[in-house]
Amino acid sequence: MEISFEEKKEKLFEVYARFEQEITPYLQQAFCKAGCSFCCTFMGNIDIVTLEGLIITEHIEGLPEELQAAVKKKIGENKTLKENGQKPPCPFLQKNNTCQIYAVRPFSCRQLYSVRECSAGSPTTHRRAVESARSTIQEIQKLDDSGYSGHISYVIHLLKDLSFRKLYLSGGFAPEQIMKFGKTHGIIINRFVK
């Protein structure tokens, strides 16, 4: 039996909370703080599932029109840069280096932290936190079994197509609908992830 979007959304936030509770001891050693944006600026790949993309899209649609337009423009620019092989900064990173969608940020962001300053390289995390993140990603993909995984601006691009969004919300599954875009943009079908 297919569960509703609202039920999936609730379960997703439960998964987030469980992961955050599991890694709390490691987070206490984290170097990260508000305004630290190394991961948002230099990592270049923020993968999300369709469920997370829809939550983010709804958040954007709740913003004032002028702000919506600015955010949508940044998402489009992010998509173009990514398509051209660049590592663009997150489209939701604000000028003050804080996250515009922090309350609904995807798991890709929630799992990141570092016990050392990142300016010289990538984040340094605990092995157990990495293992927990891997199993959590699989759990999220299983929860979103009628959806897809891919770069944030690519998944949000798919959700701009109202027929795709309607099909997804109904629990429908038609990978042929996005096959061409999916192949050229590295979109993964969650249902087939093991």
Summarised one tens digit per residue, pLDDT across range 95-129 is 998 899 999 999 998 888 777 777 666 777 778 88
Q: Torsions phi, psi of 150, nearest 5? A: 175, 180
Q: What is the pLDDT of residue 28?
A: 76
Share of the chain above pLDDT 90, in %: 65
User: Which residue's structure tokens are 């998402």?
Assistant: 75
**Range scoring the smallest mean pLDDT among 14-28, 91-105, 119-133, 170-184:** 119-133
50-108 pLDDT, tens digit per residue, is: 999 999 999 999 999 999 999 999 999 999 999 999 988 999 999 998 899 999 999 99
112: left (phi over 0), alpha (psi -120 to 50) or beta: beta
Query: What residue segments make up the domains of the chain, in order of their start?
Result: 5-192
Q: What is the pLDDT of residue 124?
A: 74
Say yes or no to pLDDT of 15 above 70.
yes
C-alpha span between 30 and 124 (Å, rounded): 9
Please answer whether residues 113 and 130 qualify as being in contact, where contact means their C-beta atoms are separated by less than 8 angstroms: no
How much is the pTM? 0.92
C-alpha span between 141 and 45 (Å, rounded): 17
Please answer whether residues 187 and 148 qualify as being in contact, where contact means their C-beta atoms are separated by less than 8 angstroms: yes
Q: What is the pLDDT of residue 6?
A: 93
